[in-house]
Amino acid sequence: MSASPSVIGRVMSILDLFNANTPLININEIAAALEISTASAYRYASELTDAGMLSRSSGCYRLGPKIIELEYLIHTNDPVLNASRDLMYGLAEMTHCNALLCNLYDESAVNIFHVPGRDPAKITYTKGLKMPTFRGAQAHIVLAHMNRRKLRRVYDRALQDPCVAPDARAIGEDWTSFTKNLKRIREAGYYISRGQLDPGVVGIAAPVFGENLEIVGALVLAWDDVRPSKLNEETLIGLVVQSANEISIRLKNESSSQPSAEDACSP
């Protein structure tokens, strides 16, 4: 397939047809999404099937084996996850809460790992679902540490979307109050959400930073408020912040131990 943006955009439009409620798609849906003929839709589906991105199933198409391979690579090679996994298991065991790791991808936050706690809690956004931009502990922490220019772009765009604008205005009715409230979160070093994503679920998030102190994600403890942790909230905050700091240190140390691009290419 051509690597031109128009083709990549069409491929992504096809993949975006899949969601939690749509495991299978058909040629007519592909043609409608791309506004192309069924013959062209068959050609795209055939090429994506050959590439392993799609797989034929009873006259329809499902996600293919290449998607599974890519998920495996993320699970085994993602540096933030590798620096977090043992700490998350320890947190879940110690607190009985759910431990979640959220990665930031440009302007999108996605939970990439979830360690369930001993005490059950109904958590919608576990692994793989894109997080709301302005709701939840993860979102507030990510926004509080986001590059200011990017943050302004995200905020201004949200105000133009009637579905998202109320969530953005809940943080700040205007840009000044929005950034002022995020500054408070940044200075606190953590954020607690209560029922923002799921009724009755409390979440504590702390930031995870990369080598250059840029925000790369957030570590979260979440629990159902009818089954509180055996530890008090202040202790839980300390554990989340401490663990997030440890992940950040590990990422910095891991990065400094890696050879430079020039050294890696030297004979």
CA distance 98 to 230: 13
What are the CA-CA distances from residue 99 to residues 34, 95, 155 (Å)? 39, 9, 28
Backbone angles phi, psi at 85, to 5 degrees: -55, -50
Asked if 108 and 46 sit in the same domain, the reply is no
Cβ neighbours around 97 below 10 Å, total = 31
> Which domain covers residue 56, as residue numbers?
5-69
CA distance 7 to 12: 9
Measured between its terminal Cα atoms, the distance across the chain in Å is: 34
How many CA atoms does the CB half-sphere of 42 hold within 13 Å? 4
Asked if 65 and 186 sit in the same domain, the reply is no
Asked if 39 and 88 sit in the same domain, the reply is no
Q: Which residues of 1-25 are buried (b: 16+ CB within 10 A; e: fewer)?
A: eeeeeeeeebbeebeebbeeeeeeb
Asked if 164 and 43 sit in the same domain, the reply is no
**Nearby residues of 34 by Cβ (< 8 Å), 6 or more positions away:** 10, 13, 14, 40, 41, 44
Give me the tens of pLDDT residue by residue for the chain, a chain 267 residues long: 444 447 888 999 999 999 888 999 999 999 999 999 999 999 999 999 999 999 999 899 999 999 999 999 988 999 999 999 999 999 999 999 999 999 999 889 999 999 999 877 889 998 888 899 999 999 999 999 999 999 999 999 999 999 999 999 999 999 999 999 999 999 999 999 999 999 999 999 999 999 999 999 999 999 998 887 788 999 999 999 999 999 999 999 987 666 654 555 454
CA distance 19 to 129: 9
Residue where one domain finishes, among candidates 44, 69, 94? 69
Residue where one domain finishes, among candidates 49, 69, 89? 69
Name the amino acid, one letter, at 248.
Answer: S
Select from 210, 209, 203, 207 the least CA-distant residue to 190. 207
